[in-house]
Structure 1
Amino acid sequence: MTTPKARPLLFLRSLLYYAGFYPVTMVYAFICLLIGPLLPFRPRFAFLTLINYFYIAWLRICCGVKVEVRGREHLPKEGSYVVIANHQSEWETLYFQLLIRPQAVVLKRELLRIPLFGWALALLKPIALDRSKRRGALKQLLEQGKARLEEGVPLLIFPQGTRVPVGKLGKLNKGGAMLAVSSEVPIVPVAHNAGLFWPGKSFIKYPGTVEVAVGPAIETRGKSVDEVHDASTEWLEQAMRRQGSLD
């Protein structure tokens, strides 16, 4: 548990992190906007996400946040698949681009409007949903998601839809299961406890090791959406409890 005396030091360490994070992000995003459009998708993804290695290393140096991954071997070596993961922090949006390469991610459309960063992010072919249009968002997810999967690109979905505080599960939407079943590709659940060390919307970061657990791929052929959804979310929930990020 953090003591009151430790908070000023944690604040300074987090300040140092952002002092490197924002300038490097703006400069690299500008470079990506110049070079990214000239590259095919896969080398473009590799180039644009090089900065994520800096983010994770700089976080470890400044704030003492490390990472440990278990089950990496469960990620399919070839072909496309759907990944569902819990959403607690900004951390997973950075690290998962290193864990699953390449990928397309489902995100909120507002992120693409951020100058430089959002414009560069748009080059990674995300599925940017308007969350105010729920029915239209599901149709967009299924149509664009299927197109990405047919291109052989794995798709990352946060079924909670938004960041959920540590200790809470929230509602897990079925969009990932629907897409995986309709496209007949495996679904892979991934759990983490990043919110313990980088709480959502928190300036201060806390030292420790983020645990990431990759579950076995769940085949979808011949199964219903409910069967796939229940199997994947049950694994996700149990893994979160083992990691101490769910009451």
Structure 2
Amino acid sequence: MRSGLLLKLRAVLFALGFYPVTILFAPFCLLLGPLLSFRQRFAFFTIINYFYIFWLRVTCGLKVEVIGRENLPKEGAFVAVANHQSEWETLYFQLLVRPQAVVLKRELLKIPLFGWALGMLSPIALDRSKPRDALKQLLQQGSERLKDGTPVLIFPQGTRVPVGKLGRFNKGGTMLAVSNEVPIIPIVHDAGRYWPGKSFIKYPGVVKVRIGKPVMVADRPVDEIHAEVIGWIEQEMKLQESGEEV
């Protein structure tokens, strides 16, 4: 009972920092954003993400450990593919892959202030009610971002999937990488253990992020590459869920 109350109080403290700071910071982004280049805009807008992760650690005891950071290319475009369990990765991954164009659902851009600022970071906002059109948009806009040298981040499960379940991984990210001949970087995390999807409560602990080695796509079929990438992700997810070291 007491521990449950403490978790709620810690979550309230996080919210008391998260929402006011976001509301205060967003107007500066909207005002200054048009004056900045994309890379400058991304760097400025995501300053607040450092606060989010810091505030999570202070209020909720939620830390992060990254394994395999050296596998992220230091230059050049690539497609990053990750599992989706929580709101946490939408905050932290903007610090992990910099800059980036994230693939997301179009509805997020309608959120006042937050969504408007997010829309200025050149996301690939898809209408999930039209899967065929969404794939065409992903391939077209994703190719534009990659040609500009901007990495694309995609969550191929399409939505948050609870810990212990794999969900279905679509091939859009693999198709995008193959059509542009850029590597795929697989990423796995277990944030759903500590910040379950749509949960107000955050649990203390260490989110483990594992970054796999780049998967090269030259002269290889989409299905083969997709099987390799998703096979690695699923294997690492199972290891994390079992509590084994990854």
Q: Which range, TM-score by smaller chain? A: over 0.9
Alpha-carbon distance, 1:37 to partner: 1.1
Correspondences of 1:58-137 after superposition (within 5 Å): 58-137=55-134
- The C-alpha deviation readout for 1:121-161, integer Å capped at 9, x for no partner, is 00100000000011000000000000000000000000000
The equivalent residue for 1:45 is: 42
Q: How big is the alpha-carbon RMSD for the aligned residues of Structure 1 and Structure 2? A: 0.9
Alpha-carbon distance, 1:241 to partner: 1.3
Q: Is the 8 A contact 1:166 1:245 kept in 2?
A: no
Pick aligned residue for 2:213 from 208, 213, 216: 216
Q: Is the 8 A contact 1:196 1:245 kept in 2?
A: no
Distance (whole Å) between structure 2 residues aligned to residue 228 and residue 81 of structure 1: 14
AA of the residue aligned to 2:85: Q
The equivalent residue for 1:13 is: 10
Identity of aligned residues (%): 67
Q: Is the 8 A contact 1:167 1:245 kept in 2?
A: no
AA of the residue aligned to 1:19: L
Distance (whole Å) between structure 1 residues aligned to residue 105 and residue 124 of structure 2: 8
Alpha-carbon distance, 1:245 to partner: 7.2
Other structure's SS at 1:132 match: coil
Unaligned runs of 5+ in 1: none
Other structure's SS at 1:189 match: strand
The equivalent residue for 1:54 is: 51
1:26 corresponds to 2:23: yes
Correspondences of 1:152-167 after superposition (within 5 Å): 152-167=149-164
Closer, same or farther: CA 245–59 of 1 in aligned 2, 3 Å: farther
Pick aligned residue for 1:172 from 158, 169, 173: 169
1:232 corresponds to 2:234: no
Q: Is the 8 A contact 1:90 1:200 kept in 2?
A: yes
Q: Is the 8 A contact 1:193 1:245 kept in 2?
A: no
Unaligned runs of 5+ in 2: none
Other structure's SS at 1:144 match: helix
- The C-alpha deviation readout for 1:42-91, integer Å capped at 9, x for no partner, is 01100000000000000000000000000000011111000000000000
Runs of 4+ residues over 6 Å off in structure 1: none
The equivalent residue for 2:33 is: 36
Alpha-carbon distance, 1:5 to partner: 2.9
Correspondences of 1:135-214 after superposition (within 5 Å): 135-214=132-211
AA of the residue aligned to 1:94: L
Other structure's SS at 2:207 match: strand
Q: Please say which of residues 236-245 and 164-173 is displaced more in the overlay.
A: 236-245
Distance (whole Å) between structure 2 residues aligned to residue 208 and residue 245 of structure 1: 16
Alpha-carbon distance, 1:239 to partner: 1.0
Distance (whole Å) between structure 2 residues aligned to residue 26 and residue 37 of structure 1: 19
Distance (whole Å) between structure 2 residues aligned to residue 147 and residue 223 of structure 1: 22
Give the total of aligned pairs.
Answer: 243
